[in-house]
Amino acid sequence: MAPFEAPTTKLVDLDQKSLFISACSIAFNPLFWNIVARQEYHNKLLTKLFGGRSQTACYGLALTIFSLGLVRDFLYERALRQQPSYPLLELDEVKYVAYALVAVGNILVVSSTWMLGITGTFLGDYFGILMDDIVTGFPFNITDAPMYNGSTCSFLGIALLYGKPAGILLTAWVFVVYQIALKYENPFTAGIYAKRERERAAAKKAGKKSQ
């Protein structure tokens, strides 16, 4: 058996603009929805645009986020096609891992959306559309961020399917971007629900006094 010889070509072609366009798209999406959602929470920006219909406004944001995700995925795949492949990533065993990652990623994303519903998934709490209780069933019993972690798994799976080291690099960027987003989103969302609980407690206390 001949010894493995490492390829002499570069692993990532930094001269391809599509790589940086993809990276910008990955970073833009969570930045966009966090800015817009906070504008909605503080100023009712989208609700005003939709004539005071907060639920319709939330659906509008959901459609926008979903569409931006499709554009991001298109740019990601286009970037991978223009990047060099790596022989070790083209082995059958790697492909099996890739398919498993994509499957796991899709399961996490789809099951999370099923559990939360459209408004629960797409920032409904910023519109005042709050969940009655914290969701603790699958997939939230195995990860507190199934949408983000599932998406990251899918990015890595696609990178391995294409056999592109650049895809692994972009997946690492996805992970970093999502971790930063969670640092902002989780405390803010927790604050929204904490405010509701304070208001409920105050209303309950006022009700007892009036009796």
Q: What is the pLDDT of residues 131-188, one digit of tens each?
A: 888 888 999 999 999 999 999 999 999 999 999 999 999 999 999 999 999 999 999 9
The larger pLDDT score, comparing residue 3 to residue 170, is at 170
CA-CA distance, 145 to 121, in Å (whole number)?
A: 11
Please name the residues in contact with 77: beta carbons below 8 A apart, sequence gap of 6 or more. 158, 162
For residue 1, the model assigns a pLDDT of 43
CA-CA distance, 106 to 183, in Å (whole number)?
A: 23
Can you give the pTM of this predicted structure? 0.89
For residue 77, the model assigns a pLDDT of 97
Averaged confidence pLDDT in the chain: 92
Asked whether the beta carbons of 137 and 112 are under 8 A apart, the reply is no
How many helices (H) and strands (E) in the chain? 6, 0
Q: Which residues of 151-190 are buried (b: 16+ CB within 10 A; e: fewer)?
A: bbbbbbbbbbbbbbbbbbbbbeebbebbeebeeebeeebe
Asked whether the beta carbons of 182 and 146 are under 8 A apart, the reply is no
In this prediction, residues 11-15 reach a mean pLDDT of 95
